[in-house]
Amino acid sequence: MTGHTPRHAVVIASGGLDSSAAAYLLAAQGASVSLLSFDYGQRHRKELDSAAAIADQLGAVHDVVDLTSVGRLLAGSALTDPAVDVPSGHYTDASMGITVVPNRNAIMLEVAVGVAVAAEADAVAFGAHTGDHAVYPDCRADFFEKLTESVRAGNEGFLAPGFQLVAPFLHVTKADIVETAARLNLPFHLTWSCYRGEDLHCGTCGTCSERREAFAEAGVSDPTPYATAVVR
């Protein structure tokens, strides 16, 4: 989904590596960026502080949308239900299905589109990448293309000219994101990935596994203190 550089992008900012890199990339391309985060009762709520820190670095506006009342109803996911443990492993493992939060990205993207329309922004940006595709259907190109159509129909006459959904990493790997982010001087130490949301990155949940492998593959030094050593 590559289009023109937006004038003003509302970036869905989880405080993780991917969305932070997306914000840095758009800013480097000359777009004005606003960061929008979502509190859906995720156990790794501390990622919201990371999103705030990244916004601060960029001098960008940062808003947090309170979806906790919705999140409570999305029970059964390891990310929102305290009764369900976060699995260790990779996104390609069957066990990762439990980390899907029902319809999460559609919910967040639709809210972000509303915010963008109200702010007369001409883009909503999202940090999904190829590594997400295995487990999360709402990170795939087919979903973005259809959502773009739906957004255009549902806001006809109200969208800023050239409005687009931007997913700059949709067709690249997380290692590619680390490489790009390193070039853009993203302060990696401010980003938060771990689903477990404890003091340190656990190092073994799906997103920690992806994070540490992406740094290794990219040949970029990983400043993240992990609670566990690399297991290979």
Nearer to Zn ion, 26 or 79 (CB): 79
Minimum separation from the CB atom of position 211 to Zn ion (A): 8
Minimum separation from the CB atom of position 44 to Zn ion (A): 8
Nearer to Zn ion, 17 or 125 (CB): 17
Minimum separation from the CB atom of position 86 to Zn ion (A): 7
Number of H helices, E strands in the chain: 7, 5
Minimum separation from the CB atom of position 42 to Zn ion (A): 13
Three-state SS annotation for 147-181: HHHHHHHHCCCCCCCCCEEECCCCCCCHHHHHHHH
Nearer to Zn ion, 73 or 231 (CB): 231
Find the Cα–Cα–Cα–Cα dihedral 82, 85, 86, 88, rounded to 10°.
170
- Chain positions contacting Zn ion, by CB under 5 A: 194, 196, 202, 205, 208
* Residues ≥6 apart with Cβ < 8 Å to 71: 39, 40, 41, 42, 80, 101
Minimum separation from the CB atom of position 174 to Zn ion (A): 14
* Residues ≥6 apart with Cβ < 8 Å to 142: none
Nearer to Zn ion, 169 or 192 (CB): 192
Nearer to Zn ion, 26 or 194 (CB): 194
Nearer to Zn ion, 168 or 206 (CB): 206
In the DSSP assignment, the letter for residue 205 is B
Minimum separation from the CB atom of position 182 to Zn ion (A): 21
Unique residue bearing structure tokens 């549902």: 154
Nearer to Zn ion, 122 or 210 (CB): 210
Minimum separation from the CB atom of position 76 to Zn ion (A): 20
Unique residue bearing structure tokens 């808003």: 63
Alpha helix segments (H runs only) across the chain: 17-28, 47-58, 68-71, 104-119, 141-154, 174-183, 206-218
Distance CA 207, CA 89 (A): 9
